[in-house]
Amino acid sequence: MRAVVFADVGRVEVADVEAPVIERPTDAIVRVTRTAICGSDLHFLHGKAPIERGSVLGHEAVGVVESVGDDVTGVRPGDRVVVSFHIACGSCWFCRRGQTALCDDHAILGAGPFGGDLPGAQAERVRVPFAETNLLAIPDAVDDERALFVGDVLTTGIYAASLAAVTPDETAAVVGLGPVGSCIVQALFALGARTVFGIDVDPARRTVAPAAGAIPVDAARENPQMVLARATDDRGADVVIEAVGTPAAYETSVDLVRRGGRVVVVGMFAGEVAELQLGVYWARALDVRFAGLCPTHSYWRRTMALLAEGRLDPSPIVSHRLSLEEAARGYELFDRRAATKVLLEP
């Protein structure tokens, strides 16, 4: 079958690889109808995360179940499904409590040794372990393209908005309007927020904020701290969601929040270090919530329902729809920020 593989640092290619087979009785094989390139795939492209040459990349997919192992009864061949970007066992202590991103057997599709060395989803077919946990049926009202987002960024948006717990009388700010930040803006409104500021220096990314109902802030033209101060009688935002994953964005988020407010850290961090003045955090009574990876399985049903009701729509985020064979071009566009979201069709 054809699949997108890591060729070398700075290079991916579409190659013939062995088609997946059922390896365990809890597996399913999904024929992929849509997959996508995610910001975290670029870590492999840039050589910042380890992965073997020839490994299949990608972790976002929708498709049709082609075959299932003997122990799988919850999904059947022919079912239209979305795949969770991270794989959880569904039965360990953490999974039973809904914290599936902390699963004892946690893995991520197409993410190299740190992701459990599972082949990725940018392929014609993908093997999904613990299929009953990691596949969700797609209702007729939702097409494949929109359903794709339930497996990762849109559900991350709902998770972040749930952690933020914004009430209608509160003011929220989202720092960073990439695909995740954009989904967070939508999710905040879907869960009841009324006033949301969206902050980014990139004009293209800022256009999605007003489309979703948020007030765009050009951080290159206005000082976001003063914009929020003016909007809140000099207090600052009640809730700030950091959706970038850099120390500078984290620091900005802390600058924007009012004393007694909440900061939700969704952006992904690895080896970064930040200097914190604990006394100031204490005096300001800051509530900082590190989101970690989204426990997709605990939030994706709600996300799918909101999508089916038309209260969420990730379509404006999609900038490019390419065939799987054009994946290298998709990576190149995404890498130089000429694309907001690239979908691939096998």
Partner 1 sequence: MPTFPTDGWFQAFIELINRSAEYRTAAADWEGDIAFLVQAEPDIRVPDDVWGYLDLWHGGCRGGGVVDAGTGERAAYVLSAPYTRWKDILLGELDPIKGMMQGKLKVRGDLPTIVRYVRAANELVRLTGEVDTVFPDEG
Residues that bind partner 1 (CB under 8 A): 220-223, 225-226, 229, 236, 254-255, 257, 259, 275, 277, 279-280, 283-284
| Shortest separation between residue 255's beta carbon and partner 1, angstroms | 6
| Shortest separation between residue 114's beta carbon and partner 1, angstroms | 34
Which residue, 269 or 281, has its beta carbon nearer to partner 1? 281
Which residue, 23 or 234, has its beta carbon nearer to partner 1? 234
Integer CA distances (angstroms), 260 to 42, 93, 155, 230, 256, in order: 36, 33, 27, 18, 12
Nearest Cα neighbor of 188 from 238, 235, 258 is: 238
Nearest Cα neighbor of 244 from 37, 10, 39 is: 39
| Shortest separation between residue 223's beta carbon and partner 1, angstroms | 4
| Shortest separation between residue 281's beta carbon and partner 1, angstroms | 9
Which residue, 234 or 272, has its beta carbon nearer to partner 1? 234
Nearby residues of 266 by Cβ (< 8 Å), 6 or more positions away: 156, 160, 180, 184, 241, 242, 243, 291
Residue type, 124: E
Nearest Cα neighbor of 294 from 274, 271, 264 is: 264
Nearest Cα neighbor of 36 from 112, 143, 137, 122 is: 122
Nearest Cα neighbor of 260 from 277, 229, 239, 291 is: 239
CA atoms within 13 A on the CB side of 66: 16
Q: CA 197 to CA 307: how far, in whole Å?
A: 22
Which residue, 270 or 278, has its beta carbon nearer to partner 1? 278
| Shortest separation between residue 252's beta carbon and partner 1, angstroms | 11
Which residue, 72 or 263, has its beta carbon nearer to partner 1? 263
| Shortest separation between residue 188's beta carbon and partner 1, angstroms | 22
Which residue, 23 or 222, has its beta carbon nearer to partner 1? 222
